[in-house]
C-alpha cells in the first residue's frame, strides 16, 4: 500500500472514532455538542504530556488520557443536565473556547502554540508500531473495539432508554428512568472515546499543537456525524471517511496551502447546507431524528422542554 | 484608580461591540427562536466586504464602509430568503435550521479567508479613527467614541421603533404569534425579512468597527458572536434591553478583570463564569419569557 493510502486510512480510522463518539451524544442522546475537539484534545495532550515530559509508559499514559477525557466529558455533563437545545450549543461552544485557550496558553504543560513534539508510539512485543502499516492495523483495531461497544450500547436496553430520554425527557422521567445518570454516563463514555481518539492521533503524528483541537475541528466532526446519519454507527464511520477524503482530493488540484484549507472548510459547510435540503437525516439513517408530531406544535413543545 | 477608569472606558467600548451583535441576535432570536449562528457571518462579512471594496474597487473608506454595511444586511436577508424560508416550507425545524445556518457561516467565512488570506483585513477609514482624545489622565480614540455613540443611538432608535411604530408592533406581534400577523392581513414573510434585516444591521455595524479597529480575521466572528449570545442568554431571551445591558456588563468585566489576570485568560474566565451561571440559573439573570418563543422561520 502506498504511504499516501496508509496515511489516509489511518486518518479515517481516527476520525471515525471521533464521529462515532459524537454520534452517541448528538444522535442517540440528543446533546448537541460543539466541544468534541476539546475532549479529543484533552486525550491527546494528556497522553503527550505524560509520555513525553513525564516518561510514563504508553499504556499508563493511554489509560490516564482516557480517564481525564472521560472526566472532561463529565464536566460537560454539568451544563447538559441543566440546559439543552440552543443553550447547550452555546455552553459547549464556551467550553470549546476555554479548552482552546488552555491548550494554547498553559505553556508549561501543553507547550503553548508550539505544541508537544516527540510523542512515542507504543511497542507490543515484536510488533513495531513505528512502521506505518502495523500502525494502520492498530488504529483500525481501536476503531473496531469502539464501534463494537457503540453498536452494542445503542442496541441494548440502555440504548433504548437513551432514545426514550432523547425523544421525551418528561415521559422517560415519568417512567422512572434515571435521566441524569444516563446523560452523565453517555457524556463520560463519549469523552473516553474521544480521548482515546486523541491518544491514537498523537501517537500517529508524533506531534500535536492547539490548531488540531479548535472550533473548526468540532465543526468538521459534527459534519461527519450529520453527513453519515446521526443515529447510524456505520453512517458516522462513512461520514468520517467522506470528510477525511475531501482534503486530499482537493490537494490533487494543487492549490496554494492558504487557499486549500479554507476551501475544504467551505466545502464542508456547503455539504451541510445541501444535505439539510436534500437529506436532513444523513446518508445512512432512514428515519428522521425526531418523529414529527403536528408541524406547528413540535417546535414549541421542544422549546418548552428546554427549560422544563 | 486611574487604571480602573481607563479599563472601564475600554470595557464600555468592548461592550458596545458585543451589545450591537447581541441586540441584533436578541431581536432575531426573540422573534423566530431560530439559533441563527450565521449572524457571525454577517458581522465578519460587513468588515470583509468593506475591506474588499477599498482594496479591489479602490473606494474611499467611508463609502466602502457603507457598501459593506448594505451588503452585509443583504447577506442576512438572503440567508432567510433563500435558505431558512424554503427549508421551513420543506418542514425543516430547529435543529435542521441550525445546521444550515452553521453551514452557511462556515461557507461565507472561509470564502472571505480564501479571498483575503488569514492576515487581519484592516479597513482604513482615515487617520481620524485612531486619533486619541485625551480626557484628563485617560483617553479614548475618536473611533471608540463614535462606536459608543452609534451604539447608544442605534439601540435607542430600535427601542423607539419597536414600541412606537407600526413595523415595530408587527415585529412584537410576530414574536408572540406569527399566524396573527397573517390574520390582520400582513405577510409574515415580510415581517421576517424585516427582523433579519434589522438584526443584521446591528451586527454589521459592529463588524465594521472591528475591521477598522483591529482588522477582521478568520474565527473572530465566532468569538464575538459567542460572547454576545452569552449576553442574550444572561439578559433573558426575547429582551433586547436585557441583551444590551448584559453585553455592556460583559465588556466591562472582561476589561476590569485585566487588573487581576493576564489578557489571554480573561475570556476563559468569563466563559467559565457563564457556564457556572447557566448551570445555577438556566433562565439567566432576568426572568425568561417563554411565551415569546415560537416556531422558527
pLDDT at A49 over 80: yes
Please provide the distance, in angstroms rounded to a whole number, between the alpha carbons at the two ends of chain B: 49
Alpha helix (H) residue ranges in chain A? 3-23, 36-48, 58-82, 86-105, 107-110, 132-155, 157-167, 169-174, 179-205, 215-228, 233-252, 257-278, 295-307
The confidence score (pLDDT) of residue B129 equals 87
The confidence score (pLDDT) of residue A125 equals 75
Q: CA separation (Å) from B185 to B18, B89, B169, B195, B297? A: 36, 20, 14, 18, 18
For B74-93, write each residue's pLDDT tens digit: 999 999 999 998 988 887 77
The confidence score (pLDDT) of residue B285 equals 62
Contact A307 B226 (CB under 8 A): no
Q: Which cell is B186 given?
A: 400582513
The confidence score (pLDDT) of residue B294 equals 43
Q: Which of A98, A101, A270 sits opposite B103 (nearest CB)?
A: A270
pLDDT at B184 over 50: yes
Contact B233 A90 (CB under 8 A): yes
Q: How far is B67 from chain A (nearest CA, A)?
A: 24
- Number of domains present in the structure of chain A: 1
Segment holding B139, helix H or strand E: strand B138-141
Q: How far is A26 from chain B (nearest CA, A)?
A: 11
pLDDT at B236 over 50: yes
User: Judged by CB atoms within 8 Å, which residues 38-97 of B form the interface with A?
Assistant: 83, 86-87, 90-96
Domain that holds residue A89: 3-307
For A132-141, write each residue's pLDDT tens digit: 889 999 999 9
Of A150, A200, A266, A191, the residue nearest A35 (C-alpha): A191
Contact B295 A86 (CB under 8 A): no
Q: How far is B136 from chain A (nearest CA, A)?
A: 36
Q: Which residues in chain A are closer than 8 Å to B33, comparing Cβ atoms?
A: 299, 303
CATH number of the domain bearing residue A301: 1.10.3470
pLDDT (mean) for B257-275: 89
CA distance linking residue A35 with residue A95, whole number of Å: 6
Helix (H/G/I), strand (E/B), else coil: A236:
helix
- Tell whether A54 lies on the interface with B, counting CB pairs under 8 A: no
- Tell whether A108 lies on the interface with B, counting CB pairs under 8 A: no
The confidence score (pLDDT) of residue A287 equals 55
Which chain A residue has its CA at the smallest distance from B268's CA? A98
More confident residue, A278 or A49: A49
CA distance linking residue B99 with residue B96, whole number of Å: 5
Q: Which residues in chain B are closer than 8 Å to A104, comparing Cβ atoms?
A: 264
Q: CA separation (Å) from A41 to A47, A92, A193, B253? A: 10, 14, 12, 29
User: Residue A235: CA atoms inside 13 Å, Cβ hemisphere, count?
Assistant: 21
pLDDT at B293 over 50: no
Domains assigned to chain B = 12-120+140-290 (1.10.3470)
pLDDT at B119 over 90: no
Q: How far is B294 from chain A (nearest CA, A)?
A: 6
User: Residue A163: CA atoms inside 13 Å, Cβ hemisphere, count?
Assistant: 15
The confidence score (pLDDT) of residue B58 equals 86
pLDDT (mean) for A247-269: 81
- DSSP at B100: H
Q: CA separation (Å) from A296 to A259, B5, B91, B93, B100? A: 43, 51, 10, 10, 20
Predicted confidence band of residue A292 (pLDDT cuts 50, 70, 90): very low
The confidence score (pLDDT) of residue A149 equals 95
Amino acid at each position: 500500500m502506498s504511504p499516501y493510502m496508509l496515511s489516509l486510512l489511518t486518518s479515517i480510522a481516527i476520525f471515525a472514532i471521533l464521529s462515532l463518539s459524537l454520534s452517541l451524544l448528538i444522535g442517540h442522546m440528543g446533546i448537541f455538542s460543539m466541544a468534541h475537539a476539546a475532549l479529543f484534545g484533552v486525550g491527546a495532550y494528556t497522553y503527550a504530556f505524560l509520555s513525553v515530559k513525564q516518561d510514563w509508559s504508553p499504556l499508563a499514559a493511554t489509560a490516564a488520557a482516557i480517564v481525564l477525557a472521560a472526566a472532561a466529558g463529565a464536566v460537560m455533563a454539568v451544563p447538559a443536565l441543566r440546559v439543552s437545545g440552543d443553550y447547550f450549543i452555546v455552553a459547549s461552544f464556551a467550553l470549546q473556547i476555554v479548552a482552546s485557550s488552555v491548550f494554547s496558553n498553559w505553556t508549561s504543560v501543553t507547550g503553548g502554540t508550539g505544541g508537544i513534539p516527540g510523542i512515542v508510539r507504543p511497542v507490543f512485543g515484536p510488533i513495531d508500531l513505528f512502521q506505518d502499516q502495523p500502525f494502520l492495523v492498530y488504529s483500525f483495531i481501536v476503531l473496531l473495539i469502539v464501534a463494537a461497544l457503540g453498536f452494542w450500547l445503542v442496541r441494548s436496553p440502555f440504548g433504548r432508554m437513551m432514545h426514550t430520554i432523547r425523544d421525551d425527557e418528561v415521559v422517560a422521567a415519568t417512567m422512572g428512568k434515571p435521566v441524569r445518570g444516563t446523560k452523565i454516563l453517555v457524556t463520560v463514555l463519549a469523552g473516553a472515546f474521544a480521548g482515546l481518539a486523541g491518544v491514537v492521533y498523537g501517537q500517529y503524528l508524533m506531534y500535536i499543537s492547539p490548531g488540531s483541537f479548535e472550533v473548526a475541528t468540532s465543526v468538521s466532526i459534527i459534519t461527519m456525524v450529520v453527513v453519515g446519519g446521526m443515529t447510524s454507527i456505520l453512517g458516522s464511520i462513512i461520514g468520517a471517511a467522506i470528510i477525511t477524503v475531501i482534503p486530499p482530493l482537493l490537494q490533487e488540484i494543487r492549490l496554494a496551502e492558504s487557499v486549500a484549507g479554507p476551501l475544504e472548510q467551505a466545502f464542508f459547510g456547503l455539504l451541510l447546507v445541501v444535505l439539510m435540503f436534500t437529506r436532513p437525516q444523513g446518508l445512512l439513517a432512514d428515519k428522521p431524528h425526531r418523529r414529527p408530531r403536528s408541524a406547528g406544535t413540535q417546535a414549541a413543545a421542544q422549546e418548552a422542554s428546554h427549560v422544563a | 484608580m486611574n487604571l480602573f477608569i481607563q479599563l472601564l472606558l475600554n470595557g464600555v467600548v468592548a461592550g458596545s461591540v458585543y451589545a450591537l451583535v447581541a441586540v441584533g441576535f436578541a431581536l432575531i432570536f426573540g422573534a423566530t427562536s431560530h439559533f441563527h449562528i450565521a449572524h457571525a457571518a454577517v458581522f465578519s462579512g460587513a468588515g470583509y466586504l468593506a475591506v474588499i471594496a477599498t482594496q479591489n474597487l479602490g473606494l474611499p473608506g467611508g463609502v466602502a464602509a457603507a457598501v459593506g454595511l448594505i451588503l452585509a444586511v443583504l447577506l442576512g436577508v438572503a440567508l432567510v430568503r433563500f435558505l431558512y424560508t424554503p427549508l421551513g416550507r420543506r418542514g425543516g425545524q430547529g435543529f435542521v435550521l441550525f445546521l444550515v445556518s452553521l453551514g452557511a457561516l462556515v461557507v461565507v467565512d472561509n470564502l472571505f479567508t480564501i479571498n483575503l488570506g488569514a492576515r487581519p483585513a484592516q479597513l482604513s477609514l482615515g487617520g481620524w479613527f485612531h486619533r486619541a482624545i485625551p480626557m484628563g489622565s485617560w483617553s479614548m480614540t475618536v473611533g471608540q467614541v463614535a462606536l459608543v455613540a452609534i451604539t447608544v443611538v442605534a439601540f435607542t432608535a430600535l427601542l423607539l421603533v419597536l414600541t412606537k411604530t407600526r413595523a415595530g408592533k408587527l415585529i412584537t406581534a410576530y414574536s408572540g404569534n406569527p399566524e396573527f400577523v397573517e390574520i390582520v392581513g400582513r405577510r409574515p414573510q415580510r415581517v421576517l425579512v424585516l427582523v433579519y434585516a434589522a438584526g443584521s444591521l446591528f451586527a454589521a455595524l459592529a463588524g465594521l468597527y472591528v475591521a477598522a479597529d483591529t482588522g477582521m480575521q478568520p474565527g473572530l466572528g465566532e468569538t464575538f458572536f459567542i460572547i454576545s449570545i452569552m449576553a442574550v442568554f444572561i439578559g433573558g431571551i426575547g429582551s433586547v434591553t436585557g441583551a444590551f445591558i448584559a453585553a455592556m456588563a460583559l465588556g466591562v468585566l472582561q476589561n476590569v478583570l485585566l487588573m487581576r489576570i493576564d489578557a489571554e485568560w480573561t475570556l476563559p474566565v468569563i466563559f467559565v463564569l457563564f457556564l457556572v451561571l447557566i448551570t445555577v440559573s438556566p433562565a439567566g439573570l432576568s426572568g425568561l419569557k417563554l411565551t415569546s418563543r415560537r416556531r422558527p422561520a
